[in-house]
Amino acid sequence: MSEQAESAPPETAATLLEIEGLSAFYGSAQALEDVSFSMGRESIAILGRNGMGKTTLCNAIMGLSPPRASGSIRFEGYELVGGQSYKIARRGIGYVPQGRRLFPSLTVDQHLRIAARGTSSNGGSEWTRERVYDLFPRLGERKRNGGAQLSGGEQQMLAIGRALMTKPKLMLLDEPSMGLAPIVVQRIFETIREISGQGMTILLVEQNAAQALGLADRGYVIETGKIVLEDQARDLLANEQVRKAYLGEE
């Protein structure tokens, strides 16, 4: 990690995550352009259609390469740009990636054991396997099944549970509804809302505007790598442009 990233944070930091002038590239192709926003301990929704830069934003926050990023991403005052992804995660960001990315041969219980950390040294939430199984009883029933034996909804539950086991301060979720049946999507968002209600800070990257804005405090709309709209979630949900683009209303 860069020397800047290892420096001490400021003594007070009401802002949890602050992004300033973030641009990201895949080779010479620019995927994000001058993205800036900040969040405290609240729930934020980032909306956008496929190919607009949402997953690139997640990768940039987590230090995953590609993309190549410039600008600033600070988490509790620590600079993340140029940092190593495992160190970024240890700072207290739990990541639920698009597509879940489970290990097919590992059981549910093994996934949770591998992700588990001891008593949180970063001040994050304390999560145990028992608490994850209470949150997702279906995972408790399937704890000896491998990742490849789970349904799409069960895999998403496990991806969320695995992230919680890292004892995060911030949960970053990339398209948790992707590829799931509507009834399963409803259950997943109910769970995210429950986690948020227990005090977890949520950064939710989604296409499903109704669900995402229904649980967020604030929202941003990203198009072709730029933030083009931002507002309180309830106001974005009532915005005519958002309703036409994401809710299919004429």
pLDDT digits (tens, 9 = 90+) for 17-44: 999 999 999 999 999 999 999 999 999 9
| Mean model confidence pLDDT for the chain | 90
Domains and CATH numbers, the chain: 17-246 (3.40.50.300)
What is the reported pLDDT for 66? 83
In this prediction, residues 182-193 reach a mean pLDDT of 95
Predicted TM-score (pTM) of this structure: 0.88
DSSP for residue 152: H
Model confidence at 122, pLDDT cuts 50, 70, 90, reads low
What is the Cα–Cα distance from 105 to 145, expressed in whole angstroms?
Answer: 9
Q: Looking at the predicted structure, is the pLDDT value of residue 6 above 50? A: no
Contacts of 95 (CB under 8 A, 6+ apart): 58, 62, 89, 163, 172, 174
Express as a percent the part of the chain with pLDDT over 90.
80
What is the reported pLDDT for 120? 55
Q: What is the pLDDT of residues 208-240, one digit of tens each?
A: 999 999 999 999 999 999 999 999 999 999 999
Residue 54 contacts residue 18 (beta carbons within 8 Å): no
Task: Give the side-chain half-sphere CA count within 13 A for 162.
Answer: 25
Residue 147 contacts residue 106 (beta carbons within 8 Å): yes
Specify the 3-state DSSP secondary structure of 226.
Answer: strand
H-type alpha helices, 76-208? 85-92, 108-115, 129-135, 137-141, 152-164, 182-197
Q: Looking at the predicted structure, is the pLDDT value of residue 57 above 50? A: yes
Q: Looking at the predicted structure, is the pLDDT value of residue 16 above 70? A: yes
